[in-house]
Amino acid sequence: MSAGGGGVVETGVRAGGDPGAVESGFRASEPAARFLRACRRLTVDRTPVWFMRQAGRYMPEYRAIRAKHSLLDICRQAELAAQVTLQPVEALGVDAAILFSDILLPLIPMGAELEMVEGRGPVIHNPLRQAADLGSLRELQPEQDLGFVLQTIQILRRQLPEQVPLIGFAGAPFTLAAYLIEGGASRDFRRTKRLMLQQPAAWRALMEKLARAMGEYLAAQVRAGVQAVQLFDSWVGALGPEDYQACAQPYSRQVLQQVAATGVPAIHFGTGTAGLLPAMRQAGGEVIGVDWRIPLDQAWQTLGPAVGIQGNLDPAALHAPRPELERRVLQILAQAGGRPGHIFNLGHGVLLDTPVEALRSVVEIVHRQQPEPVEAR
């Protein structure tokens, strides 16, 4: 479940941070970068575009590195992780870079025995199945436990063009809890829901610990220099509205409140969340990311005018012939209606076999259209 790739934890040096990082991000009164302007629902010359999982195996440059280094080795080496982060910026012309890492990375120093299994994905060999297992989950200390991630951020801030902000990210508490309990991917999340419903005290303890950890982790990323963050709740669509509000929303809100205190904008993203959007908006985030299962204009109407929106091309559409791909991109832009606050993205991450040229085409199509200068509603 990576946004830019996979990850592992290695103790690193304490990040000193970039004293100008926050000022150049959300707190600045008029940021120049179109991505940051869109996060604040300011007018932009072009709709900003970036892609979730934009660094990875679909790129020949990345595959060349993977031929020499394992996924975990790339994430252990800050210079290499920075190089992979930069590849799509240079190849595609996107308006933001997202840190090459993995949402499960912080779970390793917390005690998870995580293995990336070829053809299967992440596997946690010591899943949490009952209240007694929670004692093995340690508190996260980001600077000590994830120092190499913070070094990567510092390198990237020096190397990225000024007009291309850096996005940091973390997994939302529910999605991380589901991984810890299921031990890997799941179709029905029955173990997660069983613990949630049968052992509510244990569930609260787990979620509170994960919320603390992710809040601290994102705050550390901001101190190191990221200019925006995204909270990935990739699996939260497994919940109905009542369970989301009771068992997931308070903990996502806790994380997003800690991010809000840093002054940088947050994108709050989940999949299968059409029925959860009002509650996700209540949890927080200057921008709400939506998947392709709901029309963008309908999602924005549901969310209300005082929030930005990110999305929401179906990743499979990148395999369509160019005329059909262009039609779908233009349809989403039309649904945005020129409203300030739209960030063009996919409804989920780039698929493994996606043609690089298709992604370049999307960037070109989006940048070719100039939004009408309308007031934020």
pLDDT band of 373, cuts 50, 70, 90: low
Q: Residue type at 130?
A: Q
Residue 5 covered by a domain = no
Name the catalytic one among 57, 212, 293, 360.
57
For residue 11, being part of any structural domain is answered with no
Q: What is the percentage of the chain residues whose pLDDT exceeds 90?
A: 83
pLDDT of residue 281: 98
Domain that holds residue 318: 34-368
Higher pLDDT, 333 or 21: 333
* Preceding amide of 312 cis, omega within 30: yes
Residue predicted with more confidence, 128 or 372: 128
d(CA 114, CA 132): 20
- Residue 246, domain member (yes or no): yes
- Per residue in 71-86, pLDDT (tens digit) is 878 888 999 999 999 9
Nearest by Cα to 236 from 191, 284, 273 = 273
Looking at the predicted structure, is the pLDDT value of residue 18 above 60? no
Residue 14: inside a domain: no
pLDDT of residue 371: 75
Beta-carbon neighbour count of residue 193 at 10 Å? 17
User: Choosing from 18, 95, 102, 291, which is the catalytic residue?
Assistant: 102
Return the pLDDT at 29: 63
Tell me, yes or no, if 244 is annotated catalytic. no
Domain count, the chain: 1
Whether 41 is catalytic: no
Q: 53 an active-site residue?
A: yes
339 located within any domain: yes
Q: Is the pLDDT of residue 173 over 60?
A: yes
Percent of the chain with pLDDT over 70: 91
Over residues 17-36, mean pLDDT: 59
- Is the pLDDT confidence value at 354 over 50? yes
Average pLDDT over residues 317-326: 98
pLDDT higher at 241 or 4: 241
Mean pLDDT of the 34-62 span? 96
Residue 20: exposure state from Cβ atoms within 10 A (0-12, 13-18, ≥19):
exposed
Burial of 134 (0-12, 13-18, 19+ CB in 10 A): middle
Catalytic site includes residue 212: no
**Which pLDDT does position 14 carry in this prediction?**
27
Q: Is the pLDDT of residue 374 over 60?
A: no
Catalytic residue among 46, 66, 191, 293: 66
The confidence score (pLDDT) of residue 217 equals 98
The more confidently predicted of residues 22 and 111 is 111
Catalytic residue among 34, 53, 157, 223: 53
Extract the tokens encoding 344: 């063009």
80 located within any domain: yes
For residue 222, is pLDDT > 60?
yes
Taking the C-alpha atoms of residue 135 and residue 5, their distance in angstroms, rounded to an integer, is 29
CATH number at residue 259: 3.20.20.210
Assess whether 179 carries a catalytic annotation: yes
Out of 58, 62, 179, 217, the active site residue is 179
Q: What is the pLDDT of residues 283-316, one digit of tens each?
A: 999 999 999 999 999 999 999 999 999 999 999 9
Residue 161 Cα to chain centre, angstroms: 21
Please report whether residue 176 resides in a domain.
yes
- Position 286 in a domain: yes
**pLDDT tens digits, 90-129:** 999 999 999 999 999 999 999 999 998 887 889 999 999 8
Residue 11, pLDDT > 60, answer no
| More reliable by pLDDT, 369 or 12 | 369
CB-based burial, 309-323: b 16+ in 10 Å, e otherwise: bbbbbbbebbeeeee
